[in-house]
Structure 1
């Protein structure tokens, strides 16, 4: 195989009696592996719009969390702490050695922040893509319309319950530690669907507050993106990841 040829390896990794579907795009270079974690109810296909660009300059790992996509269900609770343990077990079993660049979208951002807290020595950088703030329920959700809140609460049927999702936010709030010199880029969607001007400003402000957990952090507002920045402005995400690789 030529040094510049990219290989795709798909595999089912068994942990705790169930199998997780994974994809590794490998470019045989001495670079950190980019580990991508999707939002609530999403799986690896959520990254399709950017993955072929990212794999030009990095080793890339994507996977389907338990019970989603091609992965089997887990007997463990669907909270971030359990998901982080499962991800760590999968990476270890595949012998994908750190350091990692963690990229998390929405709820996946909760997971990667918790992963970075649990295993800081494994992390070379973090990119948060419109990540869910820890105080979303208390501060943000009450500012939205009754219809929005009802629709939001009814969505929790694909991956864990509403209670487990909120437990995940509580876990992050409890476990979060200062990430010291781990670089972090926070991407905030600047054109959220169904948001008033005031709600949009609050959302951007709450994304900005996440910067406080790292000594090397930066906020980028994707002005023309709704929640899926990787679809609406893919090169905003690609550029953030590339900058982490080159950090």
Structure 2
């Protein structure tokens, strides 16, 4: 079942759930994709929690968490996550796992707090060159649908600012890294799928 918590941070209250026991191992911190929240991990939570403790949470304004007056950019979300971990007494170093936009946040967290990260798992993570290199390889119809999705958590400009924040760090991370990709996607062009592999595996 796990331990459910509502953690007070400076601007709001965040929902989090801690499952499993760490038994001296790093806790796995999981961050969902844009507009999604902790329920996104339900199908894998039990299996991962057999290895160590796992913390899933809802970013501000999503799921059971209160909205925050902070900008909905990656840097602000990372600050909020740092506060949550401190208040919940989750001791570093931890393993960070992020899906899609959550991958951007976890990469930013690892850049801001490198000594608190023992490993990084990126699951179909959004590349920082998304607008400049990735989107132009897609059809116009796809790009229009993509650009209209930013209504759940921050707007298009805040999402792109998050990618810029990550790109501007220009810092190489010295942590173990695993990159997971869903493989071929019917709605992705061949060029975009090849580019994804170049961005993450070259």
In structure 1, stretches of 5+ residues that fail to align are 1-6, 210-247
- Cα deviation for residue 178 of structure 1 reads 1.2
The answer as to 2:192 corresponding to 1:199 is yes
The answer as to whether partners of 1:37 and 1:109 remain within 8 angstroms in 2 is: yes
2 CA distance for matches of 1:41 and 1:140? 20
Q: Which residue of 2 aligns with 1:58?
A: 52
Q: Which residue of 2 aligns with 1:169?
A: 163
Q: Which residue of 1 aligns with 2:180?
A: 187
Q: Which residue of 2 aligns with 1:98?
A: 92
The answer as to 2:124 corresponding to 1:122 is no
Which runs of 4 or more aligned residues in structure 1 lie more than 4 Å from their structure 2 counterparts after TM superposition? none
**Taking structure 1 as the reference length, what is the TM-score of the superposition?**
0.79
- CA deviation digits over 1:118-157, x for unaligned, max 9? 0000011000001000001000101111100000000000
CA 28–113 in structure 1, closer or farther in 2 if over 3 Å, else same: closer
2 CA distance for matches of 1:73 and 1:94? 19
The answer as to 2:135 corresponding to 1:136 is no
Match of 2:2, SS state, is strand
2 CA distance for matches of 1:75 and 1:26? 32
- Cα deviation for residue 28 of structure 1 reads 4.9
The answer as to whether partners of 1:114 and 1:176 remain within 8 angstroms in 2 is: no
The answer as to whether partners of 1:106 and 1:131 remain within 8 angstroms in 2 is: yes
CA 179–17 in structure 1, closer or farther in 2 if over 3 Å, else same: closer
Structure 1 stretch displaced more, 10-19 or 38-47: 10-19
- Cα deviation for residue 170 of structure 1 reads 0.4
RMSD: 1.1
2 CA distance for matches of 1:53 and 1:128? 18
Q: Which residue of 2 aligns with 1:221?
A: none
